[in-house]
Amino acid sequence: MSDPATRYVWLIDYSKYTFALDRLQVSDGSDPCAGIRLTGSGAEIPDMTYYVPSGTVPNRLRRSFDISYNTLEWSEEDRMFSRTEVSRSVEDPFNVFLDAPLCDTEFQVQGDAFSRHFGREQSVRSGMYEAVAVSVHADTTVTVTEAPNMGGNGQGISAPAVVRFTAYANDPVAFVYVWTIYRSDVENGRENPIIRFPGKEVEYTFTLAGKYTAELEVANRTGVCSDASQSFTLDISETYLEAPNAFSPGSTPGVNDEFRVVYKSVTDFKGWIFNRWGAEMFRWTDPAVGWDGKKGGKYVPSGVYFYVIEYRDSQGKSRKKTGNINILLSKTIRNEEVVEP
């Protein structure tokens, strides 16, 4: 300490403030799922104090101790946990909460800074502590059919949507994995889940319109600690299906030269196209596929044709759609027409 005219130096007899570290362990008063506190036979560490010349209240010197132990650290880039060492410098190793380790580990306390300076630093190590805290991360992979003729109203995901839910936790401490999927847009949806699946990974195909929530809960072997912080929401769109009433095969490539339905959230699709006499011209089972107006490799004649489409909508109901198509061939390709039966 100094003022404009005077400097002060304090001399402290360190031998009056010695301590002994022994039998280091995790305190029974800890919360093993969140944070832990250490204890030991030398848990009472005396304060080192001094007074300023004009003061009556003692000032306390900071005593620095180093605590180290192992835990697991999550890598968002690698999508995995890896072992790492935690090192903390604290004033009192027995009056601080430490993040609960995610793997079995020993704890070590060294110090203090003054004894280290005098070559009398103490070091004590605990026995092996069995971790119980759980940490969870998760992600999803959504597989849907992308097609240029997919459309309709709304921003939801088109059914059928295959979603894979994957959990990552601090194994082997994390032991019990449970995925719960339920409708979040209906009353008591959470109490009546669609599926409860025990395992790190679950794949589910969403075929019905609605809002869904997938929740993950992971617990340790004894169930003392759990983590249910991971959840995902999905919006599956309503069904939309419309068919054009005319197209011009081969006239302008890429522009209205195929018969394609515009669709969203359609399953179990089957379609047929017939001429006026009921002869089948084309059959298809994928709504993303279009008809180029050919049969047997040649264009069919201009005229009116009829389609029949059967499918299942996003409410799970079977539907049927029928209508007619006008085919308009350009003069340059009429010589490729087929003879109708």
3-class secondary-structure state, position 16: helix
**pLDDT for the residue numbered 29:** 82
Residues 6+ apart with CB under 8 A from 143: 161, 162, 163, 164
Each domain of the chain, given as residue ranges in start order, spans: 14-125, 136-236, 240-336
The pLDDT of residue 56 is 75
Say if CB 132 and CB 173 are below 8 A apart.
Answer: yes
Q: In the prediction, which pLDDT does 4 show?
A: 59
What proportions of the chain, in percent to the nearest 5, are helix, strand and coil? 5, 45, 50
The 8 Å CB, 24+ separation contacts for 45-52 are 45/19, 45/92, 45/94, 45/112, 46/16, 46/17, 46/19, 47/17, 48/12, 48/14, 48/17, 48/114, 50/10, 50/12, 52/1, 52/8
Integer angstrom CA distances of residue 277 from 59, 286, 300? 105, 25, 13
Q: How many CB atoms lie within 10 A of CB 122?
A: 17
Query: What is the pLDDT, as a whole number, of residue 258?
Result: 93
Cβ-count burial 256-271 (b if 16+ within 10 Å, e if not): ebbbbbbbbbbbebeb
- Phi first, then psi, for residue 254 (nearest 5°) are 85, -5
Q: Which of these, 114, 66, 113, lies nearest to 88 by C-alpha position?
A: 66
What pLDDT is attached to residue 21? Answer: 75
How are beta strands 318-327 and 246-247 bridged, if at all?
A: parallel
Q: Is the pTM of this model over 0.75?
A: yes
Token pair of 173 as six digits: 């401490």
Class of domain 240-336: mainly beta
Residue 199 Ramachandran class (φ > 0 left, ψ -120 to 50 alpha, else beta) = left
Asked whether this chain's domains 136-236 and 240-336 adopt the same fold, the reply is: yes
Q: One digit per residue, pLDDT tens: the chain, 341 residues?
A: 455 566 777 787 777 777 777 888 999 888 899 999 998 876 677 777 777 777 778 877 788 889 999 999 999 999 999 999 999 999 888 889 999 999 999 999 998 888 787 787 888 899 999 999 999 999 999 988 788 888 876 678 999 999 999 999 999 999 999 999 999 999 999 999 999 999 999 999 999 999 999 999 999 999 999 999 889 999 999 999 999 999 999 877 778 889 999 999 999 999 999 999 999 999 999 999 999 999 988 899 999 999 999 999 999 999 999 999 999 887 666 555 544 54
Q: Write out the DSSP string of 67-130.
A: EEEEEEEEETTTTEEEEEEEEEEES-TTS--EEPPSS-B--EEEE-HHHHHTT--EEEE---B-
User: DSSP character for 288?
Assistant: T
Greatest Cα pair distance in the chain: 118
Residue 216 tokens read as: 């993950």
Distance of CA 69 to the CA centre of its chain: 28
pLDDT for the residue numbered 335? 52
Q: Please, what CATH class does the domain formed by 136-236 belong to?
A: mainly beta
